[in-house]
Amino acid sequence: MESSSSKLATGFSSPRPLIAWALCDWANSAFSTINITLIALYLSQHVFPAATWGNLSGVMYPLGLGLATLFAAVASPIAGALADAHASKSRWLAETTLLGSAAAILLGVIPLESPLAIWACYVVLVFCFELAYGFYSAFLPEIAPAEAMNRVSGWGFVCGYVGGGLVLLIAMLIIYYGGYDPVKNPDPWPLRAGIVLLGIWWSVFTIPAMIWLRDSATTKSDPLPWRAAVRQAVGQVMHTLRNLSQFRILAIFLAGYLFYNDAIQAVISQASLFAKADLGFTAVELIQLVLLIQFLAVPGAILFGWLADRVSPWRTLMLCLALWALLIAGAWFVREKSHFWIMGVALAFIMGGTQAVSRGIMGLLTPRQRAAEFFGFMSLSSKAAAFLGPGLFAAVFYVTGEYRPAILSLLFLLLIGWAIASRVDVAAGRKAALAAEESVMK
């Protein structure tokens, strides 16, 4: 018989849903690490080599990432509303995961003679990852009580950092023992094997969630035909937008999250360009740095998640954003590889805390009955502006020809997001979410 404390910690009479939820982070974080290392290298140097594709060689990877992210931004709130209306988050999570995993495997096995087919698989992979992440995150209000929301979110990120780091470590061993060298031995089979590993890893470790995670809400209506269901979902999304004043604090948080998260993601994704061009990092050194960041993010997620629950989610987020501002400003003074390694350690620690606390705050501000839809809006908030950070970075680099001012420009976006998020009253937002839950139950 389960103790009451166990029920309080998990939100269920069994720990299985909590374990399954955390394993989703373990599973899908394989995409995060493999995407910015192996896939980026594979697409830019082998699928679209500069000798054949010219300037398009460096465009196809970010173009595919940007298009897929844009499609996901539009689809996320609509798919979330559909999932809420039919209490089907678990089914959507399973389907998007399996489709994305299949796309990853195909990306690795399709011959190089079909570059556009490979690129299309990459677009599908990114699109499915973004949707699946939204459905997985939407289970947070159902598996964790309010007083443990940030800690549970933090532990999910812990699993993600460890899982993503382990799969990248395995991929690096495949590359090392496979003898891959972009100059002396350019056969990309080790890269392709690592990409296939991503697809297998993602699907296998999501199986517990497919079995154990079930929507706590009941179906609101009988299933509708597909077109009618989509129209209903779009109508629900528009209704939410028109009546967002009911969740004004949530809207303020999403607006702030849009800016500060885009700045953070741009720093993470563009820092490798600075490391390679200005500091002379090799591909192996970059993979080692990513591994370091993955594992050092673990104590950051744990510490800041604990701090948010014990002190205040708002104060913890403000601390995280202040540290990010110092980190971005400090990039201007980086001149040696050793400096960049130190920056990587600091980035890892802050990154884990910021992501965990942001998701925890979102869970507190979200009514459980509309979790998938609202987390879809969180996905929309982060993806609709996906070109802001990279676009600003590229524009400043184009004008100056230097990476330091380009990175420093991202501080502007962070400060905007910080200023907006500082107006969020988490306690009042939580009351509004609980009131919305009670009105639905009545």
Q: Which of 26-35, 101-110, 228-237, 309-318 has the lowest mean pLDDT?
A: 228-237
Q: What are the Cα distances from residue 352, in Å, to 179, 359, 433? A: 33, 11, 26
In tens, the pLDDT along 194-219 reads 999 999 999 999 999 999 888 766 55
Q: Which of 5-9, 45-49, 137-141, 249-253 has the lowest mean pLDDT?
A: 5-9
Look at residue 166 in the predicted model and tell me its pLDDT: 92
Look at residue 125 in the predicted model and tell me its pLDDT: 96
Q: What are the Cα distances from residue 262, in Å, to 46, 160, 193, 205, 383? A: 29, 20, 31, 28, 8
**If you count them, how many residues does the chain have?**
442
Band of the pLDDT at 2, cuts 50, 70, 90? very low
Overall average pLDDT of the 207-234 stretch? 70
pLDDT at 4 over 50: no
Overall average pLDDT of the 302-310 stretch? 82
Band of the pLDDT at 7, cuts 50, 70, 90? very low
Beta carbons of 267 and 388 less than 8 angstroms apart: no
Look at residue 56 in the predicted model and tell me its pLDDT: 75
d(CA 206, CA 193): 20
d(CA 400, CA 412): 17
pLDDT at 47 over 90: yes
Q: What is the dihedral of CA 278, 39, 154, 430, to 10 degrees?
A: 100
d(CA 154, CA 299): 9
Q: Which of 89-103, 143-157, 284-298 has the lowest mean pLDDT?
A: 143-157
In tens, the pLDDT along 334-381 reads 888 888 888 888 888 888 788 778 878 888 888 776 766 676 666 665
